[in-house]
């Protein structure tokens, strides 16, 4: 098999990627079959006079894509030969919330059998994000990336200089940015984004007639969440309240035994705050939608079932649009609809 591998010493393509590409090409040509053994990492590195780390990186990429597998004490074997007919996609997101999964599900359902998608979660951790991109550099046809990070103080960051540098190493025609209009330059980058500041501002304007009947509008914005939220949400909220002369307050959480007053209208972001607030409203026998109002950020099936008014991005459209653009080999920048959905809680 060593004779089938082609490594060009003069090429600017990294050697680990040349290994990956050469093995994939031999699979496509029928030279490598299912269950066929391939050389060990040591044998490969000795034959081509390259570092063991280079070969190991190539093998790890092939293992992640389930093209090869290793059997302890026996070596490496070809385990898949039909993957190359599909588009291979890395879907890299910051968390596994219900609405993130809604986007992911819409994405893979729209792609159908036309693609192989690997989901990776980096938990708003910049180091983990950078390590994942480094590990899978050159391994995929498309990189679908959401960028939300946290500082040591648990504040939200859309990106850092290191994140921008890492993303720039991805060919623009392979890049799909979700949620962030400021990342990626040029017409070849697909962007499907939310406008956090103007989204909440416009949604509140849409609900102004009902909002205006309340005495105070209270935003519960978690300022030290494990998965922080963009501060542009705060900017849009303040802009709305000041422009319409609405008495407002910003809290970091719904406190236990919080003082509730008739005429309060709460906007919650985290599910735990919504649950705690609803319990206190019930326990103190306030009438929801009359004495106290509740609006929640980002829709879920449970909120729909409970009749909670929401302001929400259409996460299905986000996933479907990303998949459609990839399938049709289209480019462009698209803002996802953000809707005010009036139910029974205001």
pLDDT in tens, 36-55: 999 999 999 999 999 999 99
Q: Write out pLDDT tens, residues 229-247.
A: 999 999 999 999 999 999 9
Number of structural domains in the chain: 3
Per the CB < 8 A criterion, the answer to whether 67 and 27 are in contact is yes
How does pLDDT run across 171-189, given as a tens digit for each residue? Answer: 999 999 998 887 766 678 8
154 in a domain, yes or no? yes
> Which runs of consecutive H residues, i.e. helices, occur in 49-174?
52-64, 98-111, 126-135, 161-168
The answer to whether residues 110 and 176 belong to one domain is yes
Longest dimension (CA), the chain: 80
DSSP 147-170: --EE-TT--EES--HHHHHHHHTS
The reply to whether 152 and 70 lie within a common domain is no
Residue 344 lies in a domain: no
CATH code of the domain covering residue 96:
3.40.50.2300
Region 223-233: mean pLDDT is 91
Q: Is residue 286 part of a domain?
A: yes
Q: State the pairing for strand pair 338-341/309-313.
A: antiparallel
Task: Among 15, 50, 76, give the residue marking a domain's end.
Answer: 76
261 falls within a domain = yes
Tens digit of each residue's pLDDT (9 = 90 or more) over 122-164:
999 999 999 999 988 888 999 999 999 999 888 898 899 999 9
For residues 213 and 272, membership in a common domain is answered with yes
Give the chain's mean pLDDT.
92
Between vectors from CA 229 to CA 173 and to CA 90, what angle results, nearest 5°? 30
User: Model confidence at 12, in pLDDT bands (50, 70, 90)?
Assistant: confident
Q: Are 201 and 266 in a shared domain?
A: yes
High-pLDDT (> 70) share of the chain, %: 98
Angle, to 10 degrees, between the axis of helix 41-48 and the axis of helix 52-64? 130
| Among the ranges given (64-78, 99-113, 267-281, 307-321), the one the predictor scored with the smallest mean pLDDT | 64-78
Parent domain of 286 = 195-311
Residues 219 and 305 in one domain: yes
What was the pLDDT predicted at 187? 73
Show the tokens assigned to 16. Answer: 């680990």
Q: pTM for this structure?
A: 0.74
Q: What is the pLDDT at residue 85?
A: 56
Residues 174 and 213 in one domain: no
Residues 215, 234, single domain; the answer is yes
pLDDT score of 255: 95
DSSP state at residue 297: E
In a domain, 20, yes or no: yes
Q: Looking at the structure, do residues 206 and 189 belong to the same domain, yes or no?
A: no
Q: Record the tokens describing residue 161, joined without a space.
A: 């200089």
Count CA within 13 A, CB hemisphere, residue 201: 15
- Contact (Cβ atoms closer than 8 angstroms) between residue 163 and residue 129: yes
83 pLDDT more than 60? no
């Amino acid at each position: 098999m060593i004779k089938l591998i082609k490594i060009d010493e003069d090429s600017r393509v990294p050697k680990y990627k040349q290994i990956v590409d050469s093995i994939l090409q031999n699979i496509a040509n029928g030279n490598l079959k299912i269950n066929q053994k391939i050389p060990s990492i040591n044998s490969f590195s000795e034959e081509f006079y390259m570092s063991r780390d280079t070969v190991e990186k190539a093998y790890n990429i092939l293992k992640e894509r389930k093209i090869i597998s290793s059997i302890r004490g026996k070596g490496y074997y070809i385990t898949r030969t039909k993957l190359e007919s599909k588009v291979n996609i890395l879907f890299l997101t910051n968390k596994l919330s219900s609405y993130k999964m809604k986007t992911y599900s819409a994405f893979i359902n729209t792609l159908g059998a036309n693609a192989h998608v690997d989901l990776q979660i980096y938990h708003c951790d910049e180091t983990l994000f950078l390590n994942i991109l480094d590990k899978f550099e050159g391994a995929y046809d498309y990189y679908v990336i959401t960028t939300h990070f946290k500082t040591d103080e648990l504040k939200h960051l859309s990106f850092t200089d290191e994140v921008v540098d890492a993303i720039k190493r991805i060919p623009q025609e392979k890049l799909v940015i979700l949620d962030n209009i400021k990342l990626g330059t040029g017409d070849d980058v697909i962007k499907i984004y939310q406008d956090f500041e103007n989204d909440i501002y416009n949604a509140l304007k849409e609900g102004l007639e009902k909002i205006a009947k309340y005495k105070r509008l209270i935003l519960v914005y978690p300022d030290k969440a494990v998965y922080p939220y963009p501060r542009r949400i705060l900017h849009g909220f303040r802009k709305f309240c000041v422009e319409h002369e609405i008495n407002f307050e910003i809290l970091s959480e719904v406190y236990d035994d919080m003082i509730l007053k008739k005429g309060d209208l709460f906007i919650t972001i985290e599910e735990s705050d919504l649950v705690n607030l609803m319990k206190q409203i019930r326990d103190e026998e306030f009438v929801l939608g009359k004495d106290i109002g509740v609006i929640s950020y980002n829709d879920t099936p449970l909120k729909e079932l409970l009749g909670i008014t929401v302001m929400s991005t259409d996460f299905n459209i986000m996933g479907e649009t990303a998949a459609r653009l990839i399938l049709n080999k289209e480019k462009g920048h698209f803002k996802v609809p953000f809707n005010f959905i009036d139910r029974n809680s205001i």
